[in-house]
Each structure stands twice: as C-alpha cells, then as structure tokens.
Amino acid sequence: MLTDFINMFQYDFIVRAFIAGILISVCAALLGTNLILRRQSMIGDGLSHVAFGATVIALSLGFTPLYFAIPTVLIASFLILRISNNKHINGDAAIAILSTSALAIGAVVNALSPGSNIDINSYLFGSILAINQTDIIIIAIVAIASILLYFTFYRQIFAITIDERFAKSVGIKTDLYNAILAAICSVIIVLGMHMMGALLISSLIIFPCISARLMSKSFKSIVIFSVAISVITFIFGLTASYSFNLPSGASIVCANLICFIICWVYNKLR
Amino acid sequence: MPLINVKNITVTYGKHKVIDNLSFSLEEGDFLCIVGPNGSGKSTLLKAILGEAKIHSGNIILDKELKRNFIGYLPQHNNIPEDFPATVNEIVYTGLLNQTHFVSSKYKKRADDALKTLGISSLKNDSYSNLSGGQRQKVLLARALCATSKLLILDEASNNLDYNSKSSFYALLKKINKTENLTIIMVTHDLDHKNLLGNKILSLDHDSPFFGSTDEYVRRIHAH
Ligand SMILES: Nc1ncnc2c1ncn2[C@@H]1O[C@H](COP(=O)(O)OP(=O)(O)OP(=O)(O)O)[C@@H](O)[C@H]1O
Ligand SMILES: [Mg+2]
C-alpha cells in the first residue's frame, strides 16, 4: 500500500493533481466556513452549475474553458450577492433559477454544436487527469494569494461572518469584503471544478466545515479542523481514485462522507 | 460646539412618520436616557445617529472629533445565530477592530478589562452558544465597551440581566461616564432607575414629549 502510494508520484499528472488539489482544498475549506456559518452554502452550489454551463459552452465553441468560465462565474457571483442582499427577492429560488439556466444553456449549446465530443461525465464527476501545466500555475497563484489574504484579514472576516451589522459599525468595509470573498469563491470553483466535477465541487466547500463543526467550539478551531479535514480527505480520496480507477471527485466526496460520520459519532459519544 | 446636534429630523418608513421634526443636542460627557412606549421610534433614532437609517429631512451633525472608531453600539436585537461556534473572547475582540487590524496583546488587555468589569472573565474561553441569555447580553456589552472611546450607544442593554447584574452594570455606566468622560446614549424602559441614571432625558412619547435634564423630568412627573 505504502509503495503504491509512493509509486504513483512517478507520474507528472498525479503530482500536479496533488499540488493543485491540496491548494484548492485549503481554499475551499476557508471559504466554506464563511459560507456555511452565514447559511449561504447554496451560493457555492449555484456557482458550480454556472461554472459547468460556462465550461461546456466554451468547449463547444472552441474557447479556452478557464478564460471564458472565470469571468462568467465572477459575474454570476456578483449577481447572486446582489440577489441575496435584496430582501424583496426570494434568494434561494433566484439562485436555483440562475444555476439551472446556466446548466441548461450549456447542455443546449453542446447539443447544437456539430462534432462536439466533450466527455461530459468527467466534467460532472471529476477527472484525475484534469490539471495541465497552465492550470497548475494559475491555481498556485490564486490559491496562495487567497490563503494569504484570508489570514491577513482573519479577524475582519470573522467579524463579518458572525455579525455583519456590528462589523459595519466598527468601520469594516463589509461590501468590499463580501465582493472579494465572492470573487475568490468563483475562481476556486472554476479551478477546482474539472478535478472535482461540477456536481461535486460544492461538497469540497461544505463537507469539511460541517464535519469540523462537530468537533469545535471556537471559530479558530473550526478553521483549523476544516483545513485539516479537507486536505486529509483529499489525499485519501485521490489515492483511492488512482488505485481503483474511480472518478476523482466522487472518491474525494466519499472520503469526506466517511470523515463526517466519524466526526458525528465522536460528537455523540463525547 | 455640541458633540451631537440633531436638527429638525424627520424619519419615515414608507408613509409612516416615525420621528417627526425632532431636535436636541448633546455635549461631551452627557448621559442621555431615551424613553417612550414601544414603537415610538427610539431604536430608529439611534440608527439615524449611527447613519444606519435614512433621514428624510433635517440633519444630524456629529462633532469632527467623533469618528466612527470611537463609537460603541449595542443593538436591541443581536444578529448572532444561537448556534454560532465562537468563544467569548473571539466575539469581544471584534469590538477592537475599529482601533487595530491585528488584535495584539495590548488590545487584548482592554477586552480582558471589559470582561472583568462585567464579571464574566471566567467565561472568556467558553462557547457563546452554550451561554445563558443574560450571559450573552454581557458578552455583547463587553464587545460594545471595547469599541467605544467617546460615545456608547445602548439599545435596551439591560435586557435579560438579573437584578444584581443590572445594578452593577448601571453603576459601571455611571462610573465610566464620570471618570472617562464618555458620552452615553441609552434607550431604556427601566423607569425605576431613571432618577439614578444620566443627566438628560429624551421622551419620544407622543402625549408627553420631553427633552431636558433628568431633574426637570422628575419634577414634571411629580407635578402630574
Ligand atoms: N425596518 C422597518 N421598516 C418599516 N417600519 C419600521 C422598521 N423599523 C421600525 N419600523 C416602525 O417604526 C416604528 C418605530 O420603531 P422602533 O423600532 O424605532 O421603535 P422603538 O421605540 O425602539 O420600540 P421598542 O420599545 O419596541 O423597541 C414602529 O412603528 C415600527 O413599526
Ligand atoms: Mg427599540
């Protein structure tokens, strides 16, 4: 088993998948604590569908997926932010409409474009082969910048997460922070989507935090546990994906599910 | 020059006039209690002073010295979800963010002092979601105390406090009002304590509007 684990690193694509995946897992866990504790986890889900639609459209029309999907999802995230700030609109329903529309348009464009042979399955459930040379550079830059930003503004982000109104009253620019968080979330979802799969990327944001929550009584410990759980389940999941030839996203989510059950049992027995 | 000068303000929600042509002013070091029945616009007035509620006409002039980062505010309704996983310290530290970016030990001392004055030092590493209603209220008071250096705005701050906590909290307010020359605006329904607390009273009661010194207000009540 251990030699299998070491042997798999002789392949470049595996090394890339590990580096990219760990960076994305850390970012997803950090964003996840923010989204979950503010009860906005559906935003991640909505954005992942938009990312999928945009990627399929880009491939059908022959654009580079990243360069088309990132701006599209950024725009969608700002729309969602506006929608969820508006008391007169039913936020959940509006996000569902936006995300299913993006999905539908993607599927229609794909069906209409002649000779399209996109492996939809790999985009839905994730592929271990997904990360190429350019991707890894973009992922590394974005992820490291996001992580640094998060820890530099850790207290401010906590203040906004727990009580946005009070945060505003002590002079924190809440709208700016919300916009930056939404932007990072969009980019991470697009970057992580191909490896995790459009249907599963949002679980990378949600699962670690809800497992961590079962073990923690402070915000700090939630953040630490989320990151740890996210990285560990990723490593197990990707190893299983390689060893048993499973879709990578599905296998990582299964690892998260097992981790959640362990945390839940621990929480009950404590 | 007054610290806060409220001039002929009117605040409306839709067609409903909540505050109608109200004027008053406060000097530095004043301690104002705002009284009035439910729905008379007390919370709305505080929000107008803080810039959270839109003023329809008139204006509120704050002294140049009174910057945003000198104001501590305790809203009537807090927005923290019951089950939010955070410790007391983590929450109280957010009150320091108008003075410091990273909360260093120098500032943590200030939070410690606030917890001590409210008698909840022993809870500082406890989870907020496991506290009682009154204990939570004290945590939010400590947070507001950390955020304040010139003006403290309290909306029914003594909610949920037991008799002893309430008396010691009121004593604390009187003390910091005197020793630190802190200006305090407090909404209260606690008329028992009104003659003990504060030098000024604003009544938003439509039947008996009043602004003036506490002594005069008491005299007027007795005359009725
Ligand atoms: N966001 C809002 N939208 C519409 N109307 C509002 C809003 N907030 C308050 N009101 C109305 O304004 C009036 C004054 O409300 P406010 O909260 O200022 O009263 P209050 O004096 O603080 O009452 P209480 O003692 O119950 O706290 C009420 O009639 C209320 O219905
Ligand atoms: Mg009120």
Angle between helices A201-213 and A248-269 (to 10 degrees): 10
What is the rounded distance in angstroms from the CA atom of residue A106 to the CA atom of residue A159? 38
pLDDT digits (tens, 9 = 90+) for A15-74: 999 999 999 999 999 999 999 998 888 888 899 999 999 988 988 888 888 889 999 999
Cβ separation of A37 and B84 shorter than 8 Å? yes
B169 Cα: distance to centroid of ligand 1 (angstroms)? 26
| Largest distance between two CA atoms of chain A | 59
User: For residue A84, which of A7, A179, A173, A180 has the smallest C-alpha distance?
Assistant: A179
Task: Please check whether residue A219 is in contact with residue A62, taking contact to mean a CB–CB distance below 8 angstroms.
Answer: no
pLDDT for A98 equals 87
Question: Average pLDDT in the B95-119 region?
Answer: 90
Q: Is B13 in the pocket of ligand 1 (CB under 6 A)?
A: yes
Q: Is B183 in the pocket of ligand 1 (CB under 6 A)?
A: no
Split at pLDDT 50, 70, 90, the class of A134 is confident
Q: How far, in Å, are A54, A88, A137 from residue A82 at the CA level?
A: 20, 11, 31
Question: Average pLDDT in the A186-212 region?
Answer: 91
| Residue A200 CB-density burial (10 A; 0-12 exposed, 13-18 middle, 19+ buried) | buried
Question: Average pLDDT in the A118-132 region?
Answer: 81
pLDDT for B68 equals 65
Q: Which residues of A touch B95 (CB under 8 A)?
A: 170
Q: What is the three-class DSSP state of A36?
A: helix
Split at pLDDT 50, 70, 90, the class of B196 is low
Question: Which residue is it, tokens 């990151």?
Answer: A227
Q: Which residues contact A224 (CB under 8 A, 6 or more apart)?
A: A212
**Which of A144-153, B59-68, B108-117 is least confident?**
B59-68
- % residues pLDDT > 90 (chain A): 58
What is the rounded distance in angstroms from the CA atom of residue A22 to the CA atom of residue A192? 10
Q: Does B70 touch chain A (CB under 8 A)?
A: no
- % residues pLDDT > 70 (chain B): 97
What is the rounded distance in angstroms from the CA atom of residue A205 to the CA atom of residue A203? 5
Would you say residue B33 has pLDDT above 70? Answer: yes
Q: Is B47 in the pocket of ligand 1 (CB under 6 A)?
A: no
Output phi, psi for B82, to 5 deg.
-50, -40
pLDDT digits (tens, 9 = 90+) for B118-138: 889 999 999 999 998 889 988
pLDDT for A1 equals 66
Q: Which residues contact A96 (CB under 8 A, 6 or more apart)?
A: A42, A46
Query: What does the DSSP 8-state code read for residue B21?
Result: E
ipTM tops the 0.90 cut: no
Question: Average pLDDT in the A222-235 region?
Answer: 97
Would you say residue B152 has pLDDT above 90? Answer: yes
pLDDT digits (tens, 9 = 90+) for B42-58: 999 999 998 888 999 99
pLDDT for B167 equals 84
Q: A38, A151, A155, A168: which to substitute to probe chain B, counting the most B Cβ within 10 Å?
A: A155
pLDDT digits (tens, 9 = 90+) for A141-150: 999 999 999 9
pLDDT for A233 equals 97
| Largest distance between two CA atoms of chain B | 55
DSSP A4-21: HHHHGGGSHHHHHHHHHH
Looking at the partner chain, which of A39, A159, A218 has a beta carbon nearest the beta carbon of B94? A159
Cβ separation of B94 and A162 shorter than 8 Å? yes
User: For residue B196, which of B217, B165, B223 has the smallest C-alpha distance?
Assistant: B217
Q: How far, in Å, are A217, B82, B135, B136 from residue B130 at the CA level?
A: 9, 9, 10, 9
Would you say residue B149 has pLDDT above 80? Answer: yes
Would you say residue A254 has pLDDT above 80? Answer: yes
Q: What is the three-class DSSP state of A32?
A: helix
Question: Average pLDDT in the B13-19 region?
Answer: 90
Would you say residue A92 has pLDDT above 90? Answer: no
The structural domains of chain A, ordered by start, are 2-269 (1.10.3470.10)
User: For residue B43, which of B75, B20, B14, B16 has the smallest C-alpha distance?
Assistant: B75
What's the gap in Å between the CA of A222 and the closest CA on chain B? 8
User: For residue A170, which of B103, B204, B114 has the smallest C-alpha distance?
Assistant: B103
Q: Does B88 touch chain A (CB under 8 A)?
A: no
Residue of B9, B12, B13 to mutate, ligand 1, most atoms within 8 A of C-beta: B13
What is the rounded distance in angstroms from the CA atom of residue A228 to the CA atom of residue B173? 44
Question: Average pLDDT in the B138-162 region?
Answer: 89
> What mean pLDDT value characterizes chain B?
89
Rounded to a whole number of angstroms, the CA Rg of chain B reads 18
**Which of A125-129, A173-177, A215-219, B67-71 is least confident?**
B67-71
Q: How many CB atoms within 10 Å of residue A151?
A: 11
What is the rounded distance in angstroms from the CA atom of residue A251 to the CA atom of residue A248? 5
What are the helix (H) ranges across B53-212?
88-93, 105-117, 133-147, 163-179
Q: Does A164 touch chain B (CB under 8 A)?
A: yes
- Beta strands B16-26 and B183-187 are unpaired
Q: Is B75 in the pocket of ligand 1 (CB under 6 A)?
A: no
The angle formed by the CA atoms of residues B35, B36 and B39, to the nearest 5 degrees, is 130
HSE-CB of B11 using CA atoms within 13 angstroms: 23
Question: Average pLDDT in the B86-110 region?
Answer: 93
What is the rounded distance in angstroms from the CA atom of residue B137 to the CA atom of residue B123? 13
Q: Which tokens hold the place of B215?
A: 């002594």
Q: Does B224 touch chain A (CB under 8 A)?
A: no
pTM, rounded to two decimals: 0.88
- % residues pLDDT > 90 (chain B): 50
What is the rounded distance in angstroms from the CA atom of residue B169 to the CA atom of residue B148? 16
At residue A56, what is the residue type? V
pLDDT for A129 equals 79
pLDDT for B193 equals 57
